[in-house]
Amino acid sequence: MAKYGKAAFVLLIIGVAVLLGLPQLELISQATLNIFTLGIIWSIATMSLNLVLGYTGQASLAHGAFLGIGAYTFGIMAQRVGMNFWLSLLIACLMTAILGFLVGLPSLRSKGPYFAIVTLCFNVIIFKVFENWTWLSGGYQGQKVPRPSFLTERWARYYFALVMLILVILVVRQIVKSLLGSSFIAIRSNENLAESVGIKSFSTKLLSLTVSCFIVGLAGSLLALQNGYLDYTITNYLYSFYLLIYLLIGGVASLAGPVVGTFGLYFLLWQLEKTMGEFSEFRWLMFGLLLIVVIIYFPMGIVGGAKRFWEWIKKKYYSRRGEVYG
């Protein structure tokens, strides 16, 4: 398992390096650059869900709301309170982490689908609050999000988001490949057994959720920054579903999965929209069919399927050489 981890990680770094060089290509239009930037930002959000779902096994359907809370905290701090950029960013992440902690306290005693439903309920409630409490959210009109001087250019924002993504990937990697990470996957694999070997499952799950929320708060802030504008729809529970889909199709419990899934699907949708013209509404129908087909035949996601395929090839190769692989 450690071997594949390294290979996939190297591929991931290569992919990221490609992304790094992208804006240098004059072929990239502003609109495309925007899409890439958004793809990166959403990848950060998917990565955060990967920590709590992919590695710790807790299916949070509230991450849409957390995304919005990160975005709004940043927006309000930067625009209405007039705080400087970095401080606003930090406060946004902390605020989202704190809210994640508070949501986790009553919810994490529930397991599996129950936990998913509770978090979904939280998301709906938060969404409704933002929808109706116009003093906070600005309602339909929303509010403006100011950009610091060094991020006024599109390519600057692109690189900034990319750097953030790389940092997040590194941090998540450090966490999951540590003894703390082993607690997470123990809980995902067999929570009862984990408890009987001395792992405090509730507080560990809570930690995972809190860290995950810190990261998604970052994603939300970046999203607000990228759009330059915020309204209450950013807390929509539909985003929880998007993140879930990106993650599961990409491949849970892998570092490359979230990025692959997010970019892959985000781009697919964008391409379909462009090429389908007047039928572009139907891209959702194709997307839905794709989801069903992929999840039936690739339950481990794209990256998981690729790993299995690789393993299958290795087996064939070794057995042909007469060696026993195992």
Q: Give me the residues that bind another protein (CB under 8 A), please.
A: 1, 53, 59, 106-107, 109-114, 116-118, 120-122, 124-125, 128-129, 131-132, 171, 174-175, 178-183, 185-186, 189-190, 192-201, 207, 211, 241, 244-245, 248-249, 281-282, 284-285, 287-292, 295-296, 299, 326
Nearer to another protein among residue 176 and residue 224 (C-beta): 176
CB of 194 to another protein, least distance (A): 7
Nearer to another protein among residue 21 and residue 113 (C-beta): 113
Residue 148 backbone dihedrals phi, psi, to 5 degrees: -70, 160
**Closest C-alpha among 152, 95, 147 to residue 126:** 95
Distance CA 126, CA 66 (A): 9
Nearer to another protein among residue 153 and residue 311 (C-beta): 311
CB of 211 to another protein, least distance (A): 7
CA separation, residue 317 to residues 308, 313, 324 (Å): 14, 6, 10
Position 260, amino acid: V
**Closest C-alpha among 292, 278, 259 to residue 9:** 259
Nearer to another protein among residue 53 and residue 306 (C-beta): 53
Nearer to another protein among residue 150 and residue 279 (C-beta): 279
CA separation, residue 133 to residues 73, 99, 136, 239, 291 (Å): 15, 18, 6, 20, 35
Nearer to another protein among residue 130 and residue 158 (C-beta): 130
CB of 163 to another protein, least distance (A): 17
Give the end-to-end CA distance of the chain in Å, rounded to a whole number.
Answer: 12
CB of 91 to another protein, least distance (A): 19
Distance CA 24, CA 12 (A): 20
Distance CA 41, CA 279 (A): 28
CB of 46 to another protein, least distance (A): 14
CB of 60 to another protein, least distance (A): 11
**Closest C-alpha among 64, 267, 22, 311 to residue 159:** 22
Nearer to another protein among residue 19 and residue 99 (C-beta): 99
Contacts of residue 29, Cβ cutoff 8 Å, sequence gap at least 6: none
CB of 281 to another protein, least distance (A): 6
For residues 158 and 40, the answer to whether their CB atoms sit within 8 Å is yes
